[in-house]
Every structure is written in C-alpha cells, then in structure tokens.
C-alpha cells in the first residue's frame, strides 16, 4: 500500500483542483432554475469516472435528475462494492451570509481545520465525499491494487428525497447486484476521534396550511372577532411538545425501540464538549427532551421541528392585516422502528383534530424515509473498522448519526446488502448552512482509508 500513499502525496494538489472544479457547478436539485447545472454536474461526474478507468459509464435519465453509473469488474469471484453518493447539493441561500460565494471554492484555514478547508456548497455534502471514492479508485486501479469489483452509483436527488432512485434500483437489480454498499455522506466525531455511523434517522416531512377568513382583513375592523390563522397555527404548533419536550401526537412513540442501558452508556462515552458546543452556536443553554443527553437527543430520539413558517405581511414597515392563511413546513426525525407512512397519518389525524372550528386545515406529506441501524458484527463493518484504524491509528467508535439518507433503508431490501456509512465530515462543517466546508485533512484521509477497506474486505470475504 506504500505506492498508494506516495501517489496520494504526489497528487494532492491535482485532487484538490479537480474537486474545486466540481464545486463550481451549482447542482442544486431543489430549484428548477439549476436543472441544466445539475445535468452538467452529472456529465462531469461521468467524465471523471471514465477518466479514472471505470467501464460502462452511463448517465441514466429519470423522471427527475439523472443517475451516474460506472463499474469495474475485476474478478467474478471477488466481492462487489457498490459506492453510493450524491452529486446534488442544497440551495446556497441565504447568500448574503456566505463569506465567499458558495460556488467559488476557496481554501481557508480554521481553528478546527488548521491544514485548511475548502469552502463551497457541497464541499462536504457530498461532492468532496463521493469524489474521495473516485480518487481512491484511480489509485487502486493504477497500481493494480483493486481486490474487489466496484460499481459507482451517484445520484442527483438525495437532497430532495431520492424520489427516482428506488425505481432505478428495482429496475436494475441485476446490474447493481453487490455484497456491500459503501457510503461516505456522514461525519466522524472529530479528526482525532474516528467513528463509523451505525444509525441514521428516518424522516416524515409535512406541510400545513391553515385558513381563517376567506380573505385578508383589516386587523382593527375584524381583529378580536375572527380567528387569525397565524395565531392559531402558532398555538397548534406549540402544543405539539409538552413541558418535558416530548411530542404530544398520540401514538408517536409507540414503535420507538428501546435502546439498552449498555448501548446508551457506550454512546455517551464519545467525547463531547458541552461548553464548546454552546459557544460555537452562541446559545445559552440546550433545549431538548427531558431524560436524554445531547448525544442521545440527536442520535436515538425522534424529534419534531418547524423548518419554515409564513403568512401575512412580511414586507418593509407595518401593514395592519389579519391574514387569511398561514403555512408551516414541519419535519419529524424518526428512529427505529418508526414508520414514516404511519407517522404521517398520525400527524395528519392529530393536526386536524386539534384545529379549532374557526379555521380549516390542509395537511400534506412530502418525501420521507425510514430509519437505519447498521449492525456492528458483520464482516463489512469489521473491514471498515480495520480500515479506519489503520488510517487514523485509532479504532473508530460506533456512532448514531442524526441526519437522514432516505434511500439507505431500501438498499437492504432490494440488494440484500448491508450499507457501511464511512463518512469523513465533521458536524461543524456547516453542511446545508452558509460557509459549508470540508477539511483537506478529511478529504485526503478519506482517500487514504478507502483502499484499506477494499483490502480488508476482500481478505475477510475469502
Ligand atoms: N449527508 C446528509 C445526511 C447526514 C449528514 C447524515 C450528517 C448524517 C450526518 C444528507 O445529504 C442529508 O442532508 N439528508 C437530508 C435528507 C432529506 C433532504 C430527505 C437530511 O437529513 O435532512
Ligand atoms: Mn449528503
Ligand atoms: Mn444533505
């Protein structure tokens, strides 16, 4: 593996420049305005796959954004690794909060990243992370150190719920057949504390519309007599948590699987600096469900959050108006064994029930996703553990991630293959936020670690 490490050293600058080129493409999947850029990004990804030597490279059309595929079959007896990632990114706004433009990547040093970090939308989530796999593959193939078959499947709709990927996977089950799915789209605890993600939360995402009077009214002439839908919606939303910050929707916790005291004790041993966490976010204190630590609240407990709320007059100055309508987008993060479809129904029923007769409510569901747990006793997990240990000099801690990757639960069902969540980002990398960045240390460490995984996995599968 010495050649691979040398090759990485010699090519660091080029690897960085190649990634920066990709980061210049604004592949925002949520906004139709960027449709062509998303396609351009798919083509650029395919071109990279061709250049590093994968075969059968193809940009597959879907009803939404395309899926990029490429493969290298080295030996029918060798295990097959399916690399999943996403080339789409979240919208960059609010643009004014970026220190440098979101799609003009720059390298800057930070306290947490003294070797520098690349600042751009998608740097960590997920361009920087999926591209590590392309570069690791380049090196493995070049030095004839590729002990597994590889299939790349890089999609363009993860940030909008992977609507078309499931259909694609089911329709191409044979083509995509694999022994393990390898994903870098999560975080490690910190650069001295490697970890493997062993859980993802599921998601239900609702939109509600509350209607009061049939038109906007003078808030003096009518105010006090007619329901103000924004006031009513605020009260309804406030009632969704009780004093202990538990969610009040009947049946919401019914399927939540109890996590053993032993596992809880283990996860709380991960380093966590309360003071720094608060300082970083400029918050005076935490707020969360009573009886659980911060690590537990983001890892093993379900949540309900308003993501956005609007209605009435939000322009300059003051307009006295009693609005006709109020809206909110509400997400719920789910844990095993909660079912997003069931939770959607529970939410809808409850929301309709708590609405006073003075308003009408309309509840709709957006994309959702099932929660995931990754067993730690599999060959796949052990190989990832050894790979990380070799690269970091420390055994990685298993850690539950708070985020969601909606498609992962499906991989298990359709491919009958485990997913390994070997991400290299940091929670402080500001993914989805202004000034998203990805540490150069993390980028290169990932490229170094991935070939170790292939080596250990192939050896252990023999
Ligand atoms: N890569 C993230 C998920 C993530 C981040 C998991 C950090 C664990 C740690 C992914 O791109 C993401 O943002 N997912 C969305 C899913 C949604 C848009 C359907 C999420 O979690 O909000
Ligand atoms: Mn991601
Ligand atoms: Mn994301």
List pLDDT tens digits, range 26-76: 999 999 999 999 999 999 999 999 999 999 999 999 999 999 999 999 999
| Per-residue model confidence as pLDDT tens digits over 248-275 | 999 999 999 999 999 999 999 999 999 9
CA of 403 to the centre of ligand 1 (A): 5
The number of distinct structural domains making up the chain is 2
List pLDDT tens digits, range 8-17. Answer: 999 999 999 9
CB of 4 sitting under 6 A from ligand 1: no
Q: What angle do CA 66, 71, 77 make, to 5 degrees?
A: 145
Tokens standing for residue 84: 């999943």
195-217 average pLDDT score: 98
Kindly give the interhelix angle for 379-392 and 440-461, rounded to the nearest 10 degrees. Answer: 140
Averaged pLDDT for residues 80-109: 98
Q: Are residues 349 and 448 in the same domain?
A: no
Listed residue (333, 330, 323) closest to 348, CA to CA: 330
Residue 359 lies inside a defined structural domain of this protein: yes
Encoding tokens for residue 42? 């798919």
Cα→Cα distances 277→199, 272, 407, 428, 441, Å = 22, 8, 30, 9, 22
Looking at residue 235, its pLDDT comes to 98
Which of the residues 158, 380, 429, 436 is marked catalytic?
158
- Cα(286)–Cα(244) distance, integer angstroms: 13
At 278-320, the pLDDT tens digits run 999 999 999 999 999 999 999 999 999 999 999 999 999 999 9
Question: 102: domain CATH number?
Answer: 3.40.630.10
373 is written with which tokens?
Answer: 């747990």
Q: Is 100 helix (H, G, I), strand (E, B) or coil?
A: coil
Average pLDDT in the chain? 97
Evaluate whether 198 touches 189 at the Cβ level (below 8 Å): no
Instruction: Using the 3D structure, point to which of 335, 369, 403 is the last residue of a domain.
Output: 369
Q: Which residues make beta-bridge pairs with 399?
A: 197
Q: State whether 249 and 351 are in the same domain.
A: yes
Site to probe by mutation for ligand 1, drawn from 404, 419, 426, 433 as the one with most ligand atoms within 8 Å of Cβ, is 404
271 is a domain residue: no
Domain that holds residue 110: 2-200+371-461
| C-alpha–C-alpha distance, residues 45 and 410, integer Å | 24
Does residue 405 have its Cβ closer than 6 Å to ligand 1?
yes
Q: How far apart are CA 115 and CA 86, in angstroms?
A: 26
The domain that holds 208 is classified in CATH as 3.30.70.360
Segments in 193-286 forming alpha helices (H):
229-238, 261-267, 274-281
104 in the same domain as 84: yes
Q: Are residues 325 and 418 in the same domain?
A: no
Q: For residue 320, how far is its CA from the centre of ligand 2 (angstroms)? A: 42
User: Taking a C-beta distance cutoff of 8 angstroms, is the pair 202, 331 a contact?
Assistant: no
Atom of ligand 1 minimally distant from the CA of 203: 19
* H runs (alpha helix) in 52-101: none
* CA 391 to chain CA mean position, Å: 24
**Are 12 and 444 within 8 A, CB to CB?**
yes
Residue 322 falls inside a structural domain: yes
pLDDT exceeds 90 at position 130: yes
CA dist 228 and 156 (Å) reads: 40
* Residues present in the chain in total: 462
How many Å apart are CA 389 and CA 383, to the nearest integer?
A: 10
Phi, psi of 91 (to 5 degrees): -55, 150
Domain-terminating residue out of 351, 369, 387: 369
Please state, for a pLDDT cut of 70, what percent of the chain lies above it.
100
Asked if 324 and 357 sit in the same domain, the reply is yes
Does the annotation count 96 as an active-site position?
Answer: no
Task: Count Cβ atoms below 10 Å from residue 90 Cβ, excluding itself.
Answer: 20
Alpha helices of 355-405 — where are they, by DSSP H?
A: 379-392
Q: Which residue is associated with the tokens 């969610």?
A: 247
Substitution candidate for ligand 1 out of 305, 403, 406 with most atoms within 8 A of CB = 403
- Tell me: do 324 and 407 sit in the same domain: no
- Claim to verify: residue 314 and residue 410 sit in the same structural domain: no
Distance, CA 140 to ligand 2 centroid (Å)? 25
Residues 20 and 140 in one domain: yes
Cis ω before 94 (30° cut-off from 0): yes
Q: Name the token pair of 169.
A: 């996977």
Confidence of residue 462 (pLDDT cuts 50, 70, 90): confident
Any ligand 1 atom below 6 A from CB of 187: yes
* The pLDDT value given to residue 234: 98
Q: Is 158 a catalytic residue?
A: yes
Q: Would you call 284 helix, strand, or coil by DSSP?
A: coil
Task: Find the distance separating the first CA and the last CA of the chain, reported in whole Å.
Answer: 19
Q: Are residues 409 and 311 in the same domain?
A: no
Residue 270 located in a structural domain:
no
Helices and strands of the chain, counted as H and E runs: 12, 20
DSSP at 422: -
In a domain, 208, yes or no: yes
Which residue, among 444, 235, 241, has the nearest Cα to 358 in the 3D structure?
235
Q: What is the mean predicted confidence (pLDDT) over 456-462?
A: 96
Q: What is the pLDDT of residue 411?
A: 96
Q: Tell me if 23 is assigned to some domain.
A: yes
Listed residue (70, 6, 61, 71) closest to 39, CA to CA:
61
- Whether residue 449 is contained in a domain is answered as yes
What pLDDT is stored for residue 1 in this prediction?
83
Residue 85 Cα to ligand 3 middle (Å): 11
Give 367's pLDDT tier (boundaries 50, 70, 90): confident
Q: Domain boundary at 334, 369, 404, which?
A: 369
Atom of ligand 1 nearest to the CA of 404: 21
- Same domain flag for 425 and 308: no
Catalytic residue from among 88, 138, 344, 448: 88
Q: Is the CB of 428 under 6 A from ligand 1?
A: no
Is residue 335 located within the same domain as residue 422?
no
The token pair that represents 119 in the structure block = 């600042």
Domain assignment present for residue 403? The answer is yes
Question: Are the beta carbons of 302 and 169 closer than 8 angstroms?
Answer: no
| pLDDT at residue 84 in the model | 98
Whether residue 384 is found in the same domain as residue 339? no
């Amino acid at each position: 593996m010495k050649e691979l490490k040398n090759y990485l050293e010699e090519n660091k600058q080029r690897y960085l420049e190649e990634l920066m080129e990709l980061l210049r493409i604004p592949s925002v999947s949520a906004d139709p305005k960027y449709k062509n850029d998303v396609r351009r990004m798919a083509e650029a990804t395919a071109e990279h796959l061709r250049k590093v030597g994968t075969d059968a490279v193809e940009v597959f059309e879907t009803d939404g954004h395309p899926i990029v595929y490429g493969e290298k079959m080295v030996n029918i007896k060798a295990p097959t690794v399916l690399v999943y990632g996403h080339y789409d990114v979240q919208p960059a706004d609010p643009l004014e909060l970026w220190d440098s433009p979101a799609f003009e990547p720059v390298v800057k040093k930070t306290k947490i990243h003294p070797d520098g970090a690349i600042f751009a939308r998608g740097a960590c989530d997920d361009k920087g992370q999926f591209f590590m796999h392309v570069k690791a593959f380049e090196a493995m193939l070049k030095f004839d150190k590729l002990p597994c078959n590889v299939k790349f499947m890089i999609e363009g709709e993860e940030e909008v719920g992977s609507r078309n990927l499931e259909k694609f996977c089911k329709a191409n089950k044979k083509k995509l057949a694999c022994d393990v799915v390898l994903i870098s789209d999560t975080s490690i605890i910190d650069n001295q504390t490697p970890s493997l993600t062993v859980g993802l939360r599921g998601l239900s995402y609702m939109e509600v519309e509350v209607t009061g009077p049939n038109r906007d009214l003078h808030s003096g002439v009518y105010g006090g007599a007619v329901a103000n839908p924004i006031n009513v919606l605020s009260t309804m939303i406030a009632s969704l948590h009780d004093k202990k910050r538990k969610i009040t929707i009947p049946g919401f916790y019914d399927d939540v699987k109890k996590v053993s005291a032993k596992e809880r004790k283990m996860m709380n041993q991960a380093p966590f600096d309360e003071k720094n966490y608060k300082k970083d976010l400029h918050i005076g204190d935490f707020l969360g469900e009573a009886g659980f630590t911060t690590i537990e609240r983001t890892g093993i407990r379900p949540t309900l959050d308003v993501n956005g709320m609007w209605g009435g007059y939000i322009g300059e100055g003051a307009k006295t108006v009693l609005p006709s309508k109020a809206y909110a987008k509400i997400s719920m993060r789910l844990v095993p064994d909660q079912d997003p479809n069931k939770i959607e129904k529970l939410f809808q029923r409850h929301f309709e029930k708590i609405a006073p007769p003075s308003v009408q409510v309309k509840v709709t569901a957006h994309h959702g996703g099932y929660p995931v747990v990754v067993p730690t006793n599999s060959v796949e997990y052990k190989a990832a553990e050894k790979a990380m240990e070799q690269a970091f000099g420390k055994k990685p801690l298993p850690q539950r991630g708070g985020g969601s990757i909606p498609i992962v639960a499906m991989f298990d069902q359709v491919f009958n293959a485990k997913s390994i969540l070997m991400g290299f980002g940091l929670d402080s990398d500001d993914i989805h936020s202004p000034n998203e960045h990805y540490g150069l240390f993390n980028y290169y460490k990932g490229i170094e670690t991935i070939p170790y995984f292939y080596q250990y996995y192939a050896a252990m599968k023999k």
